[in-house]
Chain A
Amino acid sequence: MSTMTRHGAALKVENCGKTFADGTCALARATLDIAQSETLVLLGPSGCGKTTLLRIVAGLENPDAGGRVLFDGKDLTRQPIEKRNVGMVFQSYALFPNMTVADNIGYGLKIRGVKRAERAARVAELVVLTNLGGLEDRRIDQLSGGQRQRVALARAVAIRPSVLLLDEPLTALDAALRERLRGELNSLLRTLGITAIYVTHDQAEAMELGDRIVVMRKGAIAQIGTPREIYFTPADRFVAEFVGAANIIEAPIDGTHLVLPGGRQPIADSGPRNQAVAMVRPETIGIVEAPASGLTGVVDSVRFAGDRQRIIVRGAASIPLTVDAPNTIKVHAGERIGLSIEPNSIRLLPAEG
């Protein structure tokens, strides 16, 4: 398989909502375009509707009347999952305990009536790709969590699906393994070049894996964008706080400055308003000698994290500011310091309605 080939279908989710029988709305009507070989991440807290949206694409849930799901322009809304040619990876992996690793991987091919020899060749190819060599004849309960995750992935990919659907595939693993497998999964998705929808509540996963991220909240889409767009220009306060760490400062505006308790802070874009909700990422705040004019504050606490240090500064803004500073800077609690923030890195958010 070459690294440059594109696989899978282009997807269109059109006007798909989901209201359950008891009247609860799990998903407000949403429309999404997913390009061929794109990895789209659905990101949000639990109960935000991301899994419902994934299950609608899979064919495990029907959208409310009027919603449509198209694969390469073909309307598959009425087709059940078994007719859609989708590869699914579940949080529980859902591997067949009565089959070996090889039988699990080859199951979809067997169902499709692929000849034994051809099947074995495809399984062998996937065993190599997912680094499962030597485990082909193992039973599922003899595998580690990471190995199970790879078998689930190999099984889903074996059928050359139109789209790969991953529902929190790393959540069941412990933190260290999760980080390592995230990297493996990322390079595998790039190698396969397949259209994929990836559901997660972990923003670090979303950042690393997604070509684009759909941030969801309470059954509705909050923002769609590339990881950089989501991170640097969040649409609202929810997105800003959910993706990465953020200082959300509410302050009056005086022309081109935020008026803060610790001094005046220049900003780039203010527009015609006099009250701002501004987002400042911790790593964009620089620590300097306390200046004669400009923003100052008092160090409240310093947490050393090896590669950086997280400093909480009081008195600069209406809330304590979180600052991620290089690990070489020496400050201590109670010290008065100056804060330098690049005007461009301050993002004004819409006031909450």
Chain B
Amino acid sequence: MSHISFVRLCLLPLASVTAAFFLLPMARLLLAGSEGPRGLAEYLAIILEPRYRTTLLNTLVLAAATTVATLIIATIAGLFLQRQRFPGRTILVAILTFPLAFPGVVVGFMIILLAGRQGLIGEVSSRLTGDKLVFAYSIHGLFLGYLYFSIPRVILTIMAAAQKLDPGLEEAARSLGASPWAVLRDVILPALTPALIASGAIAFATAMGAFGTAFTLATNIDVLPMLIYTEFTLAGNLATSAALSVGLGVMTWLMLALARSFAGSSVAAAG
């Protein structure tokens, strides 16, 4: 057996798994999307049908808001944690990265415990103002859940990137008269940009597609993964849910590809 054919043989398991669990279902999904009463127009319906369009926009806005909020919070926290040495720092980092261990369902449950009908926030607000503040079962609760979910991932990436930063860069900028803000703007953020893009893309993809948290909070939250679920299980509308699935996949993939081309480094898909 020649060397080349041996290598090919080794690739066989991967090839068959890819074919069985990725290529075939994808092809089937693409096909299913066009097998409804509207044919290929089913794909256009994602944009043309007002209900679908609203959901799509909602999902995009949610994902973008999550990404921006996560990046801001995690960059500040990550830089602080990387630079400061204080007692309890290791424990704090461990606690902050704890959510990595939770699946989406648990995160959803925690949001309910925080902002649900029997939640802590409702309890406190009803004591203070007489008004019970409940927002767990809406897109706001979902936003909070995704934030909780994404912050640890971004913090870790930022800390790793900040550690690699030459301390001389900041000292050089300061020697030239740069204020702390100017150092942040001209030195630190540009150096962190690849890490910000990479981790931001993951946060975005997670918020676009994560299902567990949304499903735990409520079945009527107006985001794409929930829409796919309800179209499929409740309305039995296979063609629409297939078309929506393809649409969601393509948009998220585009986002990641765009981030990858900007960052020039590996951006792993998530969600």
Q: Which residues of A contact B (CB under 8 A)?
A: 58, 60, 80-82, 84-88, 90-99, 107-108, 111-112, 152, 155-156, 159, 165
Contacts and interface: CB of A to CB of B under 8 A. Distances in A.
A156 B190 contact: no
A111 B178 contact: yes
B178 A94 contact: no
A81 B171 contact: yes
A162 to B, nearest CB: 11
Contacts of B186: 96, 98-99, 107
B176 A111 contact: yes
B168 A80 contact: no
A96 B169 contact: yes
Nearest to B193: A98
Interface in B181-199: 182, 186-187, 190-191
Contacts of B182: 111
**Which has the most chain A C-beta neighbours within 10 Å: B168, B178, B179?**
B168
B175 A96 contact: no
Contacts of B169: 94, 96
A107 B174 contact: no
A159 B191 CA distance: 24
Contact of A96 (B174, B177, B187): B187
Given A96-B187, A98-B190, A155 B168 contact: no
B175 A86 contact: yes
B176 A108 contact: yes
A80 B174 contact: yes
26 contacts: A58-B175, A85-B177, A87-B175, A88-B171, A88-B172, A90-B172, A92-B166, A93-B168, A94-B166, A94-B168, A94-B171, A96-B169, A96-B172, A97-B190, A98-B191, A107-B176, A107-B178, A107-B186, A108-B177, A111-B177, A111-B178, A112-B177, A155-B176, A159-B176, A159-B177, A165-B175
B166 to A, nearest CB: 6
Contacts of A155: 172, 176
A10 to B, nearest CB: 20
Contacts of A97: 190-191
A155 B176 CA distance: 8
A82 B170 CA distance: 11
Interface of B: 166, 168-169, 171-179, 182, 186-187, 190-191
Contact of A81 (B175, B187, B191): B175
Contacts of B178: 82, 107, 111
A95 B179 CA distance: 17
A145 to B, nearest CB: 15
A334 B80 CA distance: 68
Contacts of B176: 107-108, 111, 155-156, 159
Contacts of A91: 168
Contact of B172 (A80, A94, A112): A94
Contacts of A159: 176-177
B1 to A, nearest CB: 45
Contacts of A92: 166, 168
Contacts of B187: 96
B126 to A, nearest CB: 49
B177 A90 contact: no
A93 B168 CA distance: 8
**Which has the most chain B C-beta neighbours within 10 Å: A87, A98, A156?**
A98
Contacts of A99: 186
Given A96-B186, A96-B187, A107-B186, A81 B166 contact: no
B179 to A, nearest CB: 7
A80 B180 CA distance: 11
The 6 closest A-B pairs by CB, nearest first: A94-B168, A108-B176, A98-B190, A94-B172, A88-B175, A90-B168
Nearest to B168: A94
B259 to A, nearest CB: 18
B48 to A, nearest CB: 43
Nearest to A93: B168
A322 B55 CA distance: 87
Nearest to B187: A96
Nearest to B178: A111
**Which has the most chain A C-beta neighbours within 10 Å: B166, B168, B172, B187?**
B172
Contacts of B179: 82
Contacts of A108: 176-177
**Which has the most chain A C-beta neighbours within 10 Å: B171, B177, B190, B191?**
B177
B185 to A, nearest CB: 11
B165 to A, nearest CB: 10
